[in-house]
Structure 1
Amino acid sequence: MQKLWMPCLLTLMIFCNFFLLRAPGVSAEEKFTIITTAELKQKLDAREPLTLIDALSSIEHNELAIAGSINIPSSKVTADNPLMPADKAGLLIFYCKGPKCSKSKEAANRALALGYTNVMVYNDGLPDWAKNRYPVETHVDYPKVELPRLTPQDVQAQAATAVLLDIRGDEVKDVGRIKNAVSIPLDDLDEQYTTLPRDKKIILFDHAGKQVNISGKFLAMQGYADLAVMDGGVLAWKRAGLPTE
């Protein structure tokens, strides 16, 4: 008898898993819904009640954002943040910089953990919205500066005299830390940049080299003159065989 029902049970499990994976909008692991560009545009045009939230840092949000969105960095989706809506049944839609950006999903999961029940993620994010020429807004005009790009070997050679600034968040620091680097996550840089010395060279690095440019522009706007960035981030550092802690 056992030999008869085991194949049936296996078939049923495969079918259920397939259905979950193919179900539109919701994955088997996540409890939020994915919304498309067209669906978000329709909701905004119809003036449906919702809160559209940019889960990037305020520095990135100020450079370019979907018009009408508010900014709550993913790390700041917390119970004590006054920007979080009081109505936990209201629709929240988080976005960031597209499918390869994890911030929107991190923020959505944090919101769900806080008890919000109607949570969506606009996974195509800001790049697709801008590509469709839908409304965007800029809050800060950062200086147009081209920062020197250093190889990991160059950074290691200058580490004794420069400040190595790690702008990664905690979610990727398990990749490894560079010895003696100063840690200020990008989500906090606008509040903590004054702790950085102005009489030393500052070399910025992140996970893969994607966020250092806007961070460098922000510091340049604050009057920091001797700046550089590490090409490829910590991933490049590790590929070069250089040590991490």
Structure 2
Amino acid sequence: MNILITDDEPLARDRLRHLLGRLEGFQALEYDAGNGIEALELCRKYQPDIVLMDIRMPVMGGLEAAAHISKLERPPAVIFCTAYDTHAIEAFQVQAVGYLLKPVKLEDLQQALSGAAKVNRLQLASLRDELNDNSRSHIAAKTLKGIELVPLDDISYFMADSKYVTVYHKNGEVLIDDPLKDLESEFNSRFVRIHRNALVARKAIERMTRDEQGHYFIQLSGVEEPLSVSRRHVPLMKKFMQSL
């Protein structure tokens, strides 16, 4: 079985590669990943059977990366590597997700690999709650190229239309199936609703204008056309503009 090692610490990656070399039936990929985005790209390219995934990493952590990886057509099993304390480890046990406590021991690695299973969305959501790690740094969209990751910092606004939501970002736009209501709840500190079908990035708001008919609009930086503000959301947006 092919194993992808993902950890931001080179020494930790070297240790796992050394341990895998002592186990029969398991082989580390030639390439390692130093964060979740690199792991997703390598999973797309090489389709490993199992990913050994650190949790705390820069750019994108292990829980978020595992959520994106689980959406691949052929998702690998994920075993989390963690330095969390015993209380946090109980969360993994309850969810029946593979885990390894650092520093990793050979017998623990062998046992985890033998029992590796694919993690699902409900398990990941529960783990994020248990470990107080609910933040996502990227939005994932399924495209013809596979899964495309859009950094939250690059997103200007979300626009709902029928059952899909369009993500407008600095490099274009993509469709996602996340409900606008869920996006608003998850990212309420970074995005604000201006209409029943629109969430805009707070940091992108430049000004609010009013036309001759009394309709209000929000102008976003980098976006040519202003977005309509519904009558219901005008009072909230007036307060927001005053706070800028």
| Higher RCO (C-alpha under 8 Å, 6+ residues apart) | 1
Q: Which has the higher helix share?
A: 1
Name the structure where strand makes up a greater proportion of residues: 2
Is the pair's TM-score, using the shorter chain for normalization, greater than 0.5?
A: no
Normalising by structure 1, we get a TM-score of: 0.24
